[in-house]
Copies of this chain bind each other. A is one copy, B any other.
Amino acid sequence: MTALEQYVSSYFGVAEAAELAVISSLFKPETIKKGDYFLLTGKASDRLSFVQTGILRIFLATENKEVTQWISTKGYFVTDLSGFIFEKPARWTIQALTDTDLFTIKREDYKRIGVLVPKWHELEKLFIASCFTTLEDRIFTHLSMTAEERYELFFEHNKSLFNQVPLQYIASMLGMTPETLSRIRKK
């Protein structure tokens, strides 16, 4: 069983081995180099990928600064969800922070899953609902915690990320400046 199959079965709970094989056969291996863009804001978001190895940064460039929305690592799916699902221009830019191995499905093939695997839409609904809950938690941290508390919480759950990606991106993702993050970490 590939990492993709394990992930799909653990998160989506597809029961039938045959269905699992169908799903994973539609994902194709893809490699992107450090610095390459997986997606650009405004372009068509026509693929959904599973990160096998490597790190990607999801961000948006504003007039003043780049705002990092999320950092995707091994075991995560990566896409611009609204662009992918609703066939609208991508909201986010996604760039590889390291050489990255992906399993990628094109929208065309993705649509076939719903036909081939009857339970797919329901499983996907549950998956997106759990993502929704994660974002609810994240909003809650911004409504109720200081920068330092947000750092502590994130650090507890993502220790290994801190020696793999530039801290400035983590700072942005936590809603603080690199200087503030640096001062918090000094303690």
The residues of A with any CB-CB pair to B shorter than 8 Å are 60, 62, 65, 67-69, 81-82, 85-86, 91, 114, 121-122, 124-126, 128-133, 135-136, 138-140, 142-144, 172-173, 175
Please name all residues of chain B whose beta carbon is closer than 8 Å to the beta carbon of A135 when the two chains form the complex.
132, 135-136, 139
For this chain, the copies found in one complex come to 2
B136 touches A91 (CB 8 A): yes
| Residues on the B chain within 8 Å of A121, using CB | 121-122, 125
CA distance A141 to B69 in the complex (A): 11
Give chain B nearest CB distance to A143 CB in angstroms: 5
A69 and B139 in contact (CB under 8 A), knowing A82-B133, A122-B121, A133-B82?
yes
Closest chain B residue to A82, Cβ basis: B133
Can you show 14 pairs from A to B with CB atoms below 8 A apart? A60-B140, A67-B140, A67-B143, A67-B144, A69-B139, A81-B133, A121-B122, A124-B125, A128-B128, A128-B132, A131-B132, A132-B135, A139-B139, A142-B175
Do residues B69 and A143 form an inter-chain contact, with CB atoms below 8 A?
Answer: yes
A128 to chain B, nearest CB (A): 5
Min CB distance, A77 to chain B, in Å?
13
Q: How far is the CA of A172 from the CA of B133 in the complex (A)?
A: 19
Given A91-B136, A135-B132, A143–B81 Cβ distance below 8 Å? no
* Most chain B CB atoms below 10 A, which of A62, A138, A144: A144
